[in-house]
Structure 1
Amino acid sequence: MAASNVYYTNMRTTLTENLLQKLERLVKKAGMMDIDFNNKYTAIKIHFGEPGNLAYLRPNYSKVLVDLIKEQKGRVFLTDCNTLYVGRRKNALDHLDAAYENGYNPFATGCHVIIADGLKGTDETLVPIEGEYVKEAKIGRAIMDADIVISLTHFKGHEATGFGGALKNLGMGCGSRAGKMEMHNAGKPFVHREACIGCGACRRVCAHSAITVADRKASISPAQCVGCGRCIGVCPVDAVTSMYDEANDILNRKIAEYTLAVLKDRPSFHVSLVVDVSPNCDCHAENDAPIVPDVGMFASFDPVALDMACADAVNRQPVLDGSFLAEQAQHSHDHFINAHPDTNWESCIDHAVKLGLGNKEYNLITI
């Protein structure tokens, strides 16, 4: 397979070109405008950032893509799916509040925000794929209803997958609550009995009669539970939680398979910004100091080559003094492994190549 083209520009500016103008020039050079957007529904998949975290991408970057797509008469929206964990993005109402709080509103971005898997994370499309682990991916419906998918990713470290790049933004980020359950867990959700108030909300929402309430405490039968995660979404005191017990390598491979489900049979394009490279995901309600200097902006039609180029670029950077990474033992040339030794980001890349999602080899074209 011929090497894929990945386009890159640094974060330097001039008196005649700011960063937003550089991003526009980058994506045009990389070929995004070759896509036929005319009257097509276009989903820009982005992470809005958990409130309290300040490393997420500024909404100004998304407006560059929105304006370009609207110039081509595209019908564009920003989107993400609800989270599996407890936080400010667990349901669509809170998720929208969080997005607006972080600047992702129609006035700042020029388009609407749609939470793709609905109010409680259960609005999903079942997408059949021939994966090693996944046979029917559960993807947020609004994302699957779109004609075109654009990913706009904050490239950063991640405590379970090594780093969060385009593949994770698409695979994990586009999964409904049941999809996230499938990727994160080998088991089923369970109830923290000390937190449970016995209200029965989880029992009422369970379509498989897997939940019983006795002595004002709920319990879940693993034999009857199908892992849909609805009980997690409705619990008013967050007493129901997932196991998060899947091995990291298998988690990464499942993410690749979910990415395949999201991207197959329709046009896509991918942009990653390697800035504010925090050691952990933007799902945290805080962000630590960057582990390396800002690198730049990358764009490609190939999400695998894009992730490889971003990872290589980060690994060429010096470790910043005083960062989380500087405090870790430096056993490897790989910053992500040094930050989180139990992770192996290449397991996602290699599986994505095996699935035909893209190419590890790339030509880096600097503009």
Structure 2
Amino acid sequence: MEKSKVYFTRNTGRDSLVRLYKALGKELKGNVAVKLHTGEAGNQNFLRPEFVKPIVDEVNGTVVECNTAYGHDMGGHRFNTLEHEKVLRDHGWTENFDVEILDAGGPDKVLEIPNGKIIKKNFVGKDIEKYNSMLVLSHFKGHPMGGFGGALKQLSIGCASTAGKCWIHSTGQSDSMKDCWEKEVNHDEFLEAMADAAESVNTFFKDSIVYINCLVNLSVDCDCCHVAEDPCMKDIGIMISTDPVAIDQACLDMVYSSDDPGRDHFLERVESRHGVHTVEAAAALGFGNREYELIDIDEK
């Protein structure tokens, strides 16, 4: 397989998002969904609206989200549409963009995964059908369960409805918040289920999807944590690609090659959760390539 192209800049200013998009040279057309993490109530590390505004405006996109699968007992305030909308307002999203919660109204859209290793279907918000293309704009960081969060997590857990999140987390045993967290799950199979779900969304948009990963605010915790650990590493840069596997692999490689004193703490989170296995599983499904060419746009 030919190496995938991943474009990179160490400049973490907000205008770099547009510079990278133009360097990639792939125009997202029609009604564009911008899938990003808008942040759990209380989280301090999520990408801010003012940071992403230039690229959202560039693609004339709508910021899209989905409800979560964890309630107040787990620090959640986005598991129902009413509370989720309040968090969106509090975090400044609705005043800056058109915003849509894709699973605000049922029933979910079911995406089949014929070649899925763990799950054979994925549940996403039905309003994903409104969109012709998608920009997956991810904050690359650690994650309490997945080890790290990047493009693949944003494609899978991020795009899944509440039922879909339950389905992935329970490795296809439950689509209900009532019992999905009580199921006994093999951890590697959970990571493989994420890869399965990611493949289904990637396939849905075919060649009309682009991925940006921002290696900033590098905490070991996800933006879904209402109390997150502060960043442990300095900002590294921003990447863009049409390959979600390549861009996540490139981000991991960039962290591994860093001499930042916080690197080992970050990597302990990744390795203790076997985070790279999501990348391995996605590559095995054939919708991305771990081999890539890194192109520094600042050197052109």
Normalised by the length of structure 1, the TM-score is 0.74
CA shift for structure 1 position 341: 4.8
Aligned residues: 290
C-alpha contact 2:171 2:190 (8 A) present in aligned 1: no
CA shift for structure 1 position 78: 0.7
Whole-angstrom distance in 1 between the partners of 2:234 and 2:186:
31
CA shift for structure 1 position 355: 1.4
User: One-letter code of the match for 2:6?
Assistant: V
Whole-angstrom distance in 2 between the partners of 1:352 and 1:93:
34
Whole-angstrom distance in 1 between the partners of 2:172 and 2:159:
21
C-alpha contact 1:123 1:176 (8 A) present in aligned 2: no
Superposed CA deviations along residues 300-333 of structure 1, whole A, max 9, x for unmatched, are 0111100011111112223446x9x65xxxxxxx
Moved over 3 A (4+): 318-321
Whole-angstrom distance in 2 between the partners of 1:263 and 1:308:
17
- 2:284 alignment partner, one of 343, 347, 354: 354
Whole-angstrom distance in 1 between the partners of 2:40 and 2:251:
23
Given the alignment of the two structures, is residue 25 of structure 1 paired with residue 19 of structure 2, yes or no?
yes
- 2:110 alignment partner, one of 99, 109, 126: 126
The aligned residue for residue 300 of structure 1 is 241
Q: CA RMSD in A?
A: 2.0
Whole-angstrom distance in 2 between the partners of 1:285 and 1:94:
14
Q: Which ranges of structure 2 fall in alignment gaps of 5 or more residues?
A: none
Whole-angstrom distance in 1 between the partners of 2:183 and 2:17:
37
Whole-angstrom distance in 2 between the partners of 1:228 and 1:297:
35
Change (3 A) 1:144 1:259: farther
Percent sequence identity over aligned pairs: 32
Whole-angstrom distance in 2 between the partners of 1:244 and 1:311:
30
* Larger helix fraction of residues: 2
Change (3 A) 1:304 1:11: same
User: One-letter code of the match for 1:359?
Assistant: N
Change (3 A) 1:139 1:284: same
CA shift for structure 1 position 265: 4.4
Given the alignment of the two structures, is residue 150 of structure 1 paired with residue 122 of structure 2, yes or no?
no
Normalised by the length of structure 2, the TM-score is 0.90
Change (3 A) 1:64 1:168: same
C-alpha contact 1:292 1:318 (8 A) present in aligned 2: no
Alignment of 1:145-294 (within 5 A): 145-186=130-171, 227-229=174-176, 232=178, 242-243=181-182, 245-266=184-205, 267-294=208-235
> Bigger shift: 159-168 or 347-356?
347-356
Change (3 A) 1:362 1:341: closer
Given the alignment of the two structures, is residue 309 of structure 1 paired with residue 260 of structure 2, yes or no?
no
Change (3 A) 1:250 1:51: same
The aligned residue for residue 39 of structure 2 is 49
C-alpha contact 1:293 1:317 (8 A) present in aligned 2: no
User: One-letter code of the match for 1:304?
Assistant: V
Q: Secondary structure at the match of 2:83?
A: helix
Higher relative contact order (CA 8 A, sep 6+): 2
Q: Specify the structure having the higher radius of gyration (Cα).
A: 1
Q: Which ranges of structure 1 fall in alignment gaps of 5 or more residues?
A: 13-18, 71-75, 189-226, 233-239, 327-334
User: One-letter code of the match for 1:92?
Assistant: T
The aligned residue for residue 61 of structure 1 is 51
The aligned residue for residue 272 of structure 2 is 342
> Bigger shift: 294-303 or 59-68?
59-68
Superposed CA deviations along residues 45-79 of structure 1, whole A, max 9, x for unmatched, are 11110121110001123322221123xxxxx3111
C-alpha contact 2:40 2:225 (8 A) present in aligned 1: yes
The aligned residue for residue 67 of structure 2 is 82
